[in-house]
Amino acid sequence: MKVMIPAWVGDTLEPVEKLEVHQRGLRHKAISVFIMAGRDVLLQQRALGKYHTPGLWTNSCCTHPHWDEAPLTCALRRMEEEMGITGIDLSYRGRVEYRATVGNGLIEHEVVDIYVGEASHDLDFTLNPDEVKDAIWMDIDALQREAMRRPERFTPWLHIYLENHRDKIFGRDDS
């Protein structure tokens, strides 16, 4: 089954097949979710069968909305589908745009609505093995240091979020 996602073709937003969007590097809609427990963020390791960036660590959830799907609806749906997480309120943190090469001749050029949810470390989740290989909690400062030390372990968009949008997503650390 082909998945159609909202992408700009010229100046028009149109439904375009997901793989084609990435092959052509078309600008398209996306969501990213960060689940936090205090200063710890829940990271997922992408499943090894993913067609780009398999096995890399990234934020709690990220995907593309279906055609005519609201971003918040998409974020809640994919949190359940990928991580088995329900019942968490998400706060909207704004929109960012980025373009990154993700391997295999594919490009992510995303206009991303970002959401953050608060949870506790004992959050109950069940990973969908088709989407997620593993999940861990990591302190945001430790994550930033590890991403700088071993960049090949993390998705390109997570690097962009940490380097360019950390305050917008996580707030400023004035301690």
Taken in order of first residue, the domains within the chain and their CATH numbers are 4-170 (3.90.79.10)
Q: Measuring CA to CA, which residue among 8, 12, 13, 4 is closest to residue 24?
A: 8
**Does residue 74 have an active-site annotation?**
no
The CA distance from 9 to 51, in Å, is: 23
Annotated catalytic residue within 14, 74, 110, 146: 110
**Does residue 82 have an active-site annotation?**
no
Report yes or no on whether pTM surpasses 0.75: yes
The confidence score (pLDDT) of residue 171 equals 85
| Average pLDDT in the chain | 95
Residues of the chain with pLDDT under 70: 172-175
Annotated catalytic residue within 61, 62, 74, 108: 62
Phi first, then psi: what are they for 139, rounded to 5°? -60, 140
